Amino acid sequence: MMSLEQIRASVKSQMDAWQAMAEAFEKQMHLGKREAFDRLEQQKQMFREGLDRLKSETERSRGMIDSQRQALATAFDELRVQLSLGRAETRDLFTAQQKALQDAISKVDRELNRNLESLTDTVGEGYVRWVDTVKAEYEAASAHFAETQARQRENWQAARQTFEKQLEIYHNQLAEAQKQAVEQAQRIQGTLAAGMDHLRDSFTRLFQVSGKDGEK
C-alpha cells in the first residue's frame, strides 16, 4: 500500500476530498441546525460501516504478525467509538468531539502506515475517502451554531444566492477536471484548491453573525 500521505496527495484523492466538501456545503446550506446535525450523524454511521469493512480486510491480511494486527484492530475500534458518540449540543462539546475524532484518526493513520507492505492501496484509498467525507461534514455542520441569527439577516437570501453561484461554478470546474487525464488535472489543482478555500470562507461567512458570537 502507498503511504496515506501519498494517497492523500494524489490527484484522485484531492478531487474526491474537494467533491466531498462541495457536497457537504451544498446539502447543509439548505438545512436547519437540527437537520444538518442529523446529516452529520448519518455520515458518521456510514463511516462506521465502512470502517468495519476495512477492519475485516486488514484482519484477513497474511502479512502481519498478531501484535501488528491487534494494534491496528485496537486503533480501528477506538475510532469507531468516537464515531459512535452522541450528538453534540453545544459548540464546546462539538469541538471536543471533533478533536477526539481527529486524534483517533491520527492513531489509525500511524498503524496503517506501519503496515504498508501488508495492505492494499484499496484499503488506504477507502479509508482516506471516508475520513475526508466526515471531516467535510463536520466543517459544514460547525457553521450551523449561528444559523438561527444568520437566517434573520436581511441579506441572507442574497448571500445564499451568491454562494450558490460560486458553488455551481466550482462544481463545473471539478467535474471538468475529473474528466481529464491526470496530467491535465494536475495543471488546475491550484485553481481548484484556491476555489475551495474561497468557498469555505464564503460558507462560513454565510452563517456568521456580524458583531455577535455564535451559540456557545
Residue for cell digits 493513520? 109
Q: What mean pLDDT comes out for the span 21-26?
A: 92
Under 8 Å CB-to-CB from 143, ≥6 apart: which residues?
28, 203, 204, 206, 207, 208
pLDDT at position 45? 93
pLDDT higher than 50, residue 210: no
For 51-63, the pLDDT digits (tens) are 998 888 888 887 7
Exposed/middle/buried for residue 76 (C-beta within 10 Å: 0-12, 13-18, 19+): buried
How many whole angstroms separate alpha carbon 43 and alpha carbon 26? 15
Q: State percent of the chain over pLDDT 70.
A: 89
Three-state SS letters, 138-167: HHHHHHHHHHHHHHCCCCHHHHHHHHHHHH
For 129-180, the pLDDT digits (tens) are 999 999 999 999 888 876 655 566 667 777 888 889 999 999 888 888 877 7
- Every domain of the chain and the residues it spans: 4-207
- Are the CB atoms for 134 and 30 separated by under 8 Å? no
pLDDT at position 182? 65
pLDDT higher than 60, residue 212: no
* Four-CA torsion 102, 103, 106, 108, nearest 10 degrees: -100
For 93-123, the pLDDT digits (tens) are 999 999 999 999 999 999 999 998 888 888 8
Neighbours of 198 (CB within 10 A): 12
Q: Tell me the pLDDT of the chain averaged across its residues.
A: 85
Q: What mean pLDDT comes out for the span 17-40?
A: 89
CA distance readout (Å), 155 to 38, 69, 144, 201: 27, 55, 17, 17
The 3-state DSSP composition of the chain as helix, strand, coil percent (nearest 5) reads 80, 0, 20
Neighbours of 28 (CB within 10 A): 26
